[in-house]
Amino acid sequence: MGYEESERISSTAVSPQPRVVLQPIAAPSILGLYGFAGATFMVAAHMAHWFGTADSTILLVPFAALFGGLAQFLAGMWAYKARDGVATAMHGMWGAFWMAYGVLLWMSATGRITAPAGPLFPAMGYWFIVLAAITWVGSGAAAAENKALVTVLAFLAGGSTIAAIGYLVGAEHLLVLAGYLFIISALVAWYAASALMLFESYGREVWPVGKTAHARQMPSVTPGIGEPGVIRGQA
Q: State the pLDDT at residue 110.
A: 84
Residue 173 within any structural domain of the chain: yes
13 pLDDT exceeds 60?
no
Residue 49 within any structural domain of the chain: yes
Q: State the pLDDT at residue 103.
A: 93
Strand, coil or helix: 219 = coil
Residue 233 within any structural domain of the chain: no
Q: State the pLDDT at residue 228.
A: 44
DSSP string, 26-82: --HHHHHHHHHHHHHHHHHHHHTTSS--GGGGGGGHHIIIIIIIIHHHHHHHHHHHT
Residues 200 and 214: their CA atoms lie apart, in Å, by 21
Q: Per residue in 206-228, pLDDT tens?
A: 999 888 765 555 555 555 544 44
User: Across residues 143-156, what is the average pLDDT?
Assistant: 94
Q: State the pLDDT at residue 225.
A: 47
Residue 18 within any structural domain of the chain: no
Contact partners, residue 33, CB within 8 Å, separation at least 6: 152, 189, 190, 192, 193, 196
Number of domains in the chain: 1
Q: The domain containing residue 35 runs over which residues?
A: 25-217
Residue 7 within any structural domain of the chain: no
Residue 96 within any structural domain of the chain: yes
pLDDT: is 224 or 152 the higher one?
152
Residue 193 within any structural domain of the chain: yes
Provide the pLDDT confidence category of residue 190 given band limits of 50, 70 and 90: very high
pTM > 0.85: yes or no: no
Q: State the pLDDT at residue 3.
A: 52
Q: State the pLDDT at residue 226.
A: 43
CB atoms inside a 10 Å sphere around CB 5: 9
Q: Per residue in 109-145, pLDDT tens?
A: 888 888 887 889 999 999 999 999 999 999 999 998 8
Q: State the pLDDT at residue 46.
A: 92
CB atoms inside a 10 Å sphere around CB 136: 17
Residue 232 within any structural domain of the chain: no
